[in-house]
């Protein structure tokens, strides 16, 4: 990653010869990367919430099934 950034810096400085232009381009690129990462994090958070809801639903379903099983066992014993 560091070598890639250095190569980009050399490219921008070589093309424009303007340090200010290079800094602006780097800030724009970093801003774009941060926006992409923020979007990925939001998507992962959304998926995590969906998985949490499904997991809690499965746990509730399992508890209800266990209660039904216990009730059926009591009926068999009687």
The pLDDT confidence band at residue 18, using thresholds 50, 70 and 90, is: low
Q: 20-29 pLDDT, tens per residue?
A: 788 888 899 9
What pLDDT was estimated at residue 22?
A: 80
Cα–Cα–Cα angle for 7, 10, 12, rounded to 5 degrees: 110
Choose among 10, 6, 12: nearest CA to 25: 12
pTM over the 0.75 mark: no
Q: What pLDDT, in 10s, does the model give residues 39-63?
A: 999 999 999 999 999 999 999 999 9
DSSP, residue by residue, 49-72 = HHHHHHHHHHHHHHHHHHHHHHHH
Q: How much is the CA Rg of the chain, to the nearest whole Å?
A: 28
CA dist 8 and 18 (Å) reads 13
- Split at pLDDT 50, 70, 90, the class of 17 is low
């Amino acid at each position: 990653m560091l070598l890639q950034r250095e190569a980009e810096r050399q490219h921008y400085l070589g093309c424009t010869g303007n340090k200010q232009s290079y800094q602006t381009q780097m800030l724009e690129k970093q801003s774009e990367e941060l926006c992409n990462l923020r979007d990925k994090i939001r998507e992962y958070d959304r998926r995590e919430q969906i998985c949490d809801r499904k997991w809690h639903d499965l746990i509730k379903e399992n508890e209800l099934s266990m209660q039904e099983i216990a009730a059926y066992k009591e009926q068999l014993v009687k």
